Structures are given as structure tokens and as C-alpha cells.
Amino acid sequence: MTAFIIRRLLQAVLVMLVVALIAFLMFRFVGDPINQMVGIETTPEQREALRVRLGLRDPILVQLARFIWNAAQFNFGTSYQFKQPVSEMILQRMPATLELSMVSAIFALIVGIPMGVYTGIRREAWLSKLFLTVSLVGISLPPFLIGILLIFIFAVNLQILPSFGRGQVVDLGFWSTGLLTVSGLKALILPAITLGLFQLTLIMRLVRSEMLEVLRTDYIKFARARGLTERAVNFGHALKNTMIPVITVTGLQLGSIIAFAIITETVFQWPGMGLLFLQSVQNVDIPIMAAYLMLIAFLFVVINLIVDILYTVVDPRVRLDGGAAV
Amino acid sequence: MAFRKLAVAAGLTVALGMATSAQAETFKYAFQGELKGLDPYSLNETFSLGTLGNVYEGLTRRGPELEIQPALAESWEVVEPTRWRFHLRKGVKFHNGNDFTADDVVFSADRVRSQESDLKTRIGADVKVEKVDDYTVDFVLPGPNPILHYEWDTWGIMDKEWAEENDTVKVMSASDESPSYAGLHANGTGPFKITGHETGVKTTFEENKDWWDYGNKKFNIDSVELTPIGSDATRVAALLSGELDMVYPVPVQDIQRVDGNDGTRALTGPELRTIFLGMDQMRDELLYSNVKGKNPFKDPKVRMAFYQAIDMEAIKQKIMRGLATPSALMISPFQFALSDQFERFPYDPEAAKKLLVEAGYPDGFEVTMDCPNDRYVNDEAICQAVVSMLAKIGVTVDLNAQPKAKYFAKVLQSNGFDTSFYLLGWTPGSFDSWNILSNIIHCRSEEGSEAPFNLGGYCNPKVDEITAKVLVENDPDKRNEMIAEAFKIHMDEVGHIPLHQQGLAWGVADDVELAQRADNTLMFYHVNKN
């Protein structure tokens, strides 16, 4: 087990190095950061001096080595635009993104599972057909369109929910939360739906197909034959057995929820890490871009590692000699 | 940090359901970009300077019509042509309670010209700033300069003691390892204080009851909340839903919607920025064209053909939805008194075709055009229109529209002016024609010390001669005549093709009254909320 974890950790380091390399190469094509940092009247000599001060005139290999060396120590430098330490800025923005991601994941689960169960059991009911149609919308419409649609209906026309921001947040020192105030909770609703809709659809369809399969198995037939109530059969036996794939998928999707929050955060001006990243792309704020990309890569690596370890715990059949699932 | 505590307090207030601020008037607004930092010398950009102008004041300020008014200096006089004397206002206090004196002005003059400052153009490096007494400061110039104080409304005076106490004398630069105090805190003399600043999230202001002009104040708001909203659709929705009192800019295609909506209106007006086209007239062969061995843009007839092929009225109506003022000059009529002597050459595709034949291009030619797509109002659409209009006179233009970060990296001096034909916008920071003459129309030097933004390299020594004279002429009428002469030469030779001054569009709630300044700056002391 220990050998397995060590091996996976080494692989993780390799993945991070590759991400760092790709990120670094990308930064050579995003544009000129200097022009975004100074006003238009700044003279060419002054621009050149700034370029030298930032180390952008050093040989590429020197820049790459410096970048990796600093990243290894979690030092991402100072933002070109805001002149603040990047790690501090990301930490400030992290609670917003994590809260939004968690709430939309929970929303996707508590709405998606019952919908999946229902459509699995009552395949012919009109409500099932409605759910399936709606889920098609959820899968095919891009999140920014859903977001703008929701804003148009609930903020502009009905004026019951805010169209942007996090509302009133309470600062707990290490964490700023919007979960403790009314306006904070109201502000969460639309972004959480926008971000969670795709996952909801995914979970619903997963639960439905699993239910359909499980309901056909012999032990369900026997349970029925023993005269157990429908509820006991459906929820006590069938649903329980559909949960393993659902938990796996949800865990794996958590990473992509956080990463995909970029779009939702932009539409709702949600002050999280994704919005910060997108703004930094527009501004060619390389330190922020680098830190964000490394963080997301790190997140995926960690989630995968945990899932791998859980597999070996839950299912001993998964062999430990490199055959672990991704 | 102070704002954290404040956020807790504010959060708890709401959590407990106590509405303590019932009669307080909070003005909430959104802008498309964010306030990058609070140090007034770190970034020479209209929005940052304008917003911080509510907190930090200069020796002068500008009114609703951009007229220069006394602010921290009560009056000034030109003692000798090269010595200006400023009499400072007495009894002014910074937000921390310190007195404003001549020492602060001298300190700020040094700081604004320091290595890391982005506002070095505010005062020339060779100007001497001398304290005469506590409330008098002399500026000794190397030569006469009639526009010395034109940009001083955005040169906010900082408190010397405060900066030294907090070890923030040096302007923060991105190459520094630790953040600077002045980048996160503000201490000016202005009508508003900053009470909280979360970078890129929210900035809050509160009125300064000790402001020196508080007795004459013309605003009734007591706090302000600024949120950056980058997405156009969200920004407009936030106004329409009544969550915000004002948003800007409003995309031109949404102006009607904002106007048609109950409770909001669109406030439009001309902006100072002039959008123009430029052509490479310097190289012997264009970098991006099928014409080899010569440069068609060296021939004024070709440039004139391009000029007359462009239908400005169509661009104004179809692309700018009326929100643009076609311009004959490279400067807004607001900023040059003799603008009405100039008129655009007429739109005439037939004449343009003839000119091309005379120049030796009866079948036109091919050229690539560089264009930003997220910098100016509908910039890419304007370029596309230009492309199709030029196609009608036989010129095939290959359009290369890119985000501003990539566009500027390509075409500016740092990349060797890598363009043949481009669209650019310019606002003279000094509000004065000399800025245009020296930055855009003057002959360019390769290393970029002269006219670094003359990307096409238009060059006429006669114009340069006049430009040098304009710089030192103290008589305003004579000076304007000289400027007009230079502009006339530039126009007749079609050094650039000025297109228009783009329009401003702000979305404002009906219960809010405010002044829309043509430099796209919102001053809180012009805001009233009923």
C-alpha cells in the first residue's frame, strides 16, 4: 500500500511538472504583459526597464527554471496588475469558488438522485418524460446561456434574486462565507443552479440507467416475491446498489465543477478564483494564470489519488501493481 | 485588515436583520474593469485615476465641462515665463488628520517622478519644485510650458508623513516582493474616503465630512459601492433589475433597452477618444502586402483614396448606432478651439478609384490590417466595415483582429511597429493638441524616443518644426494658430485617417442625477440620489 502511494505521488509530481512546462510555454503566446501594466504614455525606455526588472528579458531556460523553482515553494510572485502576492489573492478568492462548487454539487445530488430514481421506476409517466427532456436541455445548453437566461427571468423580470456578486459575506478570518446571510444565500441560488445543472443531468441519467439495470436483477424479483413493499424494494435494495458508481462519478466531477466554475463565475461576477483567472488572461497577468493552472492541476491530481486509494480500500480486486483505474 | 472587521460588522448587521442604514444614501455602481490598486501613481489609466480622484485631489481639478478649477491650490500665477507660483489652500486636512502643506506637494512631485511611477509625464524630470513657505510652491521650468498644469487634476497629492510612517514612499511595482501599504490603503484630502477595498471584488467609499469644500457640496450620497462587472450582459441586467444605480459602459446595442426600461435611462455623449487608421509610410516595402519593391502608402494619393473610400456616415449609423462623431481631426473638438475650421474630405468611392489609377494601382492591391477586438467601442466591426468599403475600390484587405493584449504586443514599438495598416484610438492625457502632435504626428525615431505611437511613421519636418514651437508658445491664440497649421498639413497629406470620436454610454437609474464628463470619469461629488 505504501509503495503504491509513493509511486502515485511520484507520478503526481511528474504531472505537475508537465503542467508547469505547458503553462510556461503558453505564456509566450498570450500577449505582452507590459502593455497591460502601464498607461499608454509610458515611454519605450521605461517599458523596457520594467521588462528587465520583471526578468522577461532573461534567457527562456532561466525563466523556466525560476518559475518551477518558485512554484515548488508555492511562491507565485506578485500579480502584474494588482501588485499583490498571488498566493494571497488566490486564497482570498478560494472560499467563494469552493462554496459555489459545494452547493452546486449538493444541489445536483439531492435533485438529481430522486429524479433518476423516479424516471427509473416510472419509465412511462409523463413526468419522467418531462425530466428527460429537461435534462437534455441541461446537457446541451452552454452554462453561460443558462446563466443569462436565469438572470433575465429571475433578476430582471421577476426581480426576486440578485444578478451578480455574492451578496453580504461574513468574514471568519480564514474564510469568507456567504452562507450565513440572507442576501448571501439568495445570491448563491442562480449561480449554483447554472453550475450544477450539467452535473444534475449527469447524475440523473446515471441513477436512472443503474436503477433500470438493478431492477431487472434476480434479488429484486425475490424481494418482490417475498412481498416487501415497493418502497423497501426501490429504496432499501435497488437504490443502495446504484450508489457506488454515483459516488465515484460525483467525486471525480468535483474537480471539473471547480474548474468549470470559470464560466459561471464570469456570468454572475462571482468573485472566485475562476473570475480572477479569466480577468488575468485578459490582462496577461502571468503570475495569476500560472498559480491558478497549477492549483487546478494539483486539485485533479489529489482527487484522482484519493479515488485510487479508495478503490483499493473498497474493492480489493483492484490490483495494486499499477493496474489502478484513473 | 480594517475592511475585514468592517465586513464582519456589516455581515452581522444584516444577519441580525437590523437595518441601521435606513436613511443613508448609498450609491452603487459598476464599471467593466476593476480598480487595480489604490496607489494613485501606479497606473496612468482613466478609470483608476478618475476613481481615485474622489479620494486624492490635485492642485487643480476639472469641472463637469472639463474646465480647470482650483482645488488644493487656491490660485497660481506665472511669475516669470519659466517660474510658476502656486498658492496652496490653507486648513486642508488629509483623511488621517494631518495638515496639507507645501512639503506634501514637494514630496508628491518627487514621488510621481520616481522610477516606479507610471505618471512621470505629470511633471518633467528637469522641473525644480521649490517650497517658498508652508503654503506657497514654485515650479521652475527649463523652458516655458503653457500646459504645465493641464494634467494635474489627476496628480493626487499624498501626505508625506503618512507615506514615510508606513514605509510606502516607493511606488509599488510588480517586480517587488511584498505589497506596498499605499497600494492597499488610501489617505487623500478628497470628498470621499475609502472604507474597504477587496481587489477585483468591491471597493467602498464614505463621504469625508471634513472635506475643505464640504460647505458647498452638491451631492447627497454618503457612501458609494463600486463593483467591477466584466460581462456586458450581467452589467446591464444588474441595472435593469434595480440592484445598481449606475453602470458603465453600456454596449451600444443595449442603449435602447436601457432607455426603454422603466426606471432607467441611457446617458450618452461624445467621448474624447479619437479612433483613427494609420498606414506604414516608412518602410520601402510593406511587411504585409502583395506589392513588392515599393510601398503604396508612401504615395499620398493612395492614402487619400483610402480616406475617401470610407463611408463614415454608414459606420456611424450602422455600427455605432448614432453614438459617434465623425472627425476631421485627430483630436476631439472639446480639446481644440479651432476644430470648426476643419471638415472631413467627402466620401467619394469614384474619386478614390481614380486616385488609385493615378497612383498606378488600377486593380488595387492587397494589404493586411491589424485591429484590436476588445479595446474600443465595436472596434472589430469598424474594421470589418472598412475592409468591405475598401473592397469596393478594389483593395483587398486581410483583417487580423485580435484581443488587445496580442494586438498591442504586435504593433507597438517594442515589437518594431510590426504592421502595415492598423486601427488605433488615442485620448490626449494632457487634454491638449501638443500631446497628439508629439506622440502620433511627429517624425518617429527608430528607438522610440520620438513619437512612439506614430506606428505608421508619417513624417514631415515642417510639422516637427511647428510642434517644437507649440511647446514653448505661451500666447494661447498664437499657439492655436500654430496647431491648426500643423493639423492642416497633416490632414492634406493624409498622415492618418481620423474616423470618429466614439461615444460614451452610461446607464443610470431614474432617481439618480449626475454629471457625465467627456473623459468618461465619474466624480462622486456630482451625484445626487432622490
* Element at A120 (helix H, strand E): helix A86-121
Would you place residue A160 in the very low, low, confident or very high pLDDT band (cuts 50, 70, 90)? very high
B44, B201, B447 ranked by CB distance to A42: nearest: B44
B44, B180, B406 ranked by CB distance to A83: nearest: B180
Q: Which of the residues B36, B115, B413, B445 would you substitute to probe the A interface, choosing the one with the greatest number of A C-beta atoms within 10 Å? A: B36
Q: Is the pLDDT of residue A228 over 90?
A: no
Q: What is the pLDDT of residue A74?
A: 79
Q: What is the pLDDT of residue B23?
A: 57
* Element at B28 (helix H, strand E): strand B26-31
Give the distance from CA B410 to its chain's centroid.
22
Per the CB < 8 Å rule, is A155 touching B243?
Answer: yes
pLDDT in tens, A252-308: 888 888 888 999 999 999 999 999 999 898 888 988 998 999 899 888 888 888 877
Q: How many CB pairs under 8 A join A and B?
A: 191
For B16, nearest residue in chain A (alpha carbons): A181
Q: Nearest CA to CA, how far is A79 from chain B (Å)? A: 6
Position with higher pLDDT, B488 vs B117: B488
Q: What is the pLDDT of residue A260?
A: 83
Q: Nearest CA to CA, how far is B305 from chain A (Å)? A: 30
Find the mean pLDDT for residues B108-113: 95
Taking the complete model, does pTM exceed 0.90, yes or no?
A: no
Q: What is the pLDDT of residue B2?
A: 43
Chain A residues touching residue B452 (CB < 8 angstroms):
43-44
Chain A residues touching residue B403 (CB < 8 angstroms):
31, 282
Would you place residue A245 in the very low, low, confident or very high pLDDT band (cuts 50, 70, 90)? confident
Q: Which residues of B1-31 are buried (b: 16+ CB within 10 A; e: fewer)?
A: eebeeebbebbeebeeeeeeeeeebebbbbb
Per the CB < 8 Å rule, is A78 touching B174?
Answer: yes
Could you tell me whether strands B26-31 and B246-248 are parallel, antiparallel, or unpaired per DSSP bridges?
A: parallel
Chain A residues touching residue B414 (CB < 8 angstroms):
32, 34-35, 44, 47-48, 51
Position with higher pLDDT, A321 vs B496: B496
Domains of chain A by start residue, with CATH: 90-285 (1.10.3720.10)
Please enumerate in sequence order all residues whose Cβ is within 8 A of that of B9, keeping only pairs 6 or more positions apart, or say none.
none
Residue B79 neighbours by CB distance under 10 Å? 12
Q: Is the pLDDT of residue A205 over 50?
A: yes
Nearest to B230 by CA among A55, A64, A5, A267: A267
Find the mean pLDDT for residues A186-195: 94
Per the CB < 8 Å rule, is B11 touching A180?
Answer: yes
Q: Is the pLDDT of residue B7 over 70?
A: no
pLDDT in tens, B151-184: 999 999 999 999 999 999 988 776 666 678 998 8
Q: Is the pLDDT of residue A326 over 60?
A: no
Q: Is the pLDDT of residue B313 over 90?
A: yes
Per the CB < 8 Å rule, is B414 touching A84?
Answer: no
Q: What is the pLDDT of residue B129?
A: 95
Find the mean pLDDT for residues B239-263: 93
pLDDT in tens, B437-478: 999 999 998 776 788 889 999 999 999 999 999 988 888 899
CA distances from A135 to A112, A202, A322, B448 (A): 10, 8, 37, 59
> Cα(A91)–Cα(A110) distance, rounded to whole angstroms?
29
For A44, nearest residue in chain B (alpha carbons): B448
Find the mean pLDDT for residues B121-148: 92
Would you place residue A194 in the very low, low, confident or very high pLDDT band (cuts 50, 70, 90)? very high
Chain A residues touching residue B242 (CB < 8 angstroms):
159
For B33, nearest residue in chain A (alpha carbons): A279
Per the CB < 8 Å rule, is A38 touching B12?
Answer: no
For B11, nearest residue in chain A (alpha carbons): A170
Would you place residue A162 in the very low, low, confident or very high pLDDT band (cuts 50, 70, 90)? very high
